[in-house]
Amino acid sequence: MDNASHQFFRSLLGAPGPSGFEAAPARLWRDEAARFADAVSADVSGNSFATLSGQAGAPSVMFAGHIDEIGLMVVHIDDDGFLWFDTIGGWDDQVFVGQRVILLGRTGPVMGVIGKKAIHLMEKEDRDKPSKVKDLWIDIGARNQAEAAERIRVGDAGVLDSGILEFPNGRVVSRSIDNRIGAFVVLEALRLLARDRPTATVTAVATAQEEIAYTGGGARTSATGLAPTVAIVVDVTHATDTPGVEKKRHGSIALGGGPVLSRGSSLNPKVMDLLAEVAETEKIPYAWHAAPKYTATDADAIFTSFKGVATGLVSVPNRYMHSPNEMVVLDDLDRAAALLAGFARRVSTGVDFIP
């Protein structure tokens, strides 16, 4: 990863963009894409597209990484100016306790802290009970409802305020890694292809609303519009090299061990075999992951969109998922981008992904 890519990576992680409110990171993504893509656009669902045009009549390849992150939304402002909230995406409620938040207010970012009754004020029987979102609130320093309403409306979204840390051994810690790095990897793959253009037309897509994609989210609408020959989804998966994780249930996936390829009913076997072949030919380390029912990624929506799309899934090992301190290794991002670029160069006229 060169300096320009690294700075883009940091900017992308830092931009608040919970599901349905992805505009800020999406703008950064499109601005970066405009430096090397033939065409850059967005749609009404919030998806962003960057395309390299291939040869006439060649197949089309879609790379998809969702750009949204988990967050929260204000649902009520009480008489004293405290904000009550609900979650956007899947949270462990315990993570919220004592956190700072950035709310996307009507005139700009609004800082707040998540409040909870102090342990000294709790009854003994309540001290060991887990915290629930319904019992937590956000304090933005307002004295009353009217003062809070000058800066915040019901329906405003936000994220936890957690900065980027760079650890030894190329490890990066941040919120929004799930799955801002997927959007980053697909654009890095396109950057590599721009230097050595493939036969196929390749479109990188920063998809919206994956974390709340009960009906397919931006992945379904973007894939239906593109109708690609083949699609590769990039997301994160759980690194299982931390204490207490049972590998017999969750597989053996190491942080820094390279991209993870999944096999399962929502994935095309010929696509996955070609990805493995590329990895082995180009000496990219990788691991396998089993997804017997569904992948819980954009692949599930893309696989069944339009008339059906031959879909593959490449994941990056991630520790502490759905927290403000997720952890990945930079080398894994470079390897995933190289794998996608190598795959796209092998997609040519006459390719057949029918199992």
Rounded to whole angstroms, the Cα distance separating 216 from 221 reads 8
Residue pair 287/339 in contact by the 8 Å Cβ criterion: no
Tokens of 56: 């006439």
Sequence-distant (6+) residues with CB within 8 A of 195 are none
DSSP string covering 91-157, please? Answer: --GGGGTT-EEEEEETTEEEEEEEE---GGGS-GGGTTSPP-GGG-EEE-S-SSHHHHHTT--TT-E
Residue pair 276/287 in contact by the 8 Å Cβ criterion: no
Bridging pattern class, strands 71-77 and 157-160: antiparallel
DSSP string covering 165-198, please? Answer: EEETTTEEEES-HHHHHHHHHHHHHHHHHHHS--
**Across the strands, what pairs with 327?**
173, 319
Residue 210 appears among annotated catalytic residues: yes
- Active-site residue among 210, 211, 280, 282? 210
Helix (H) or strand (E) holding 291: strand 287-291
By annotation, the residues acting in catalysis are 210
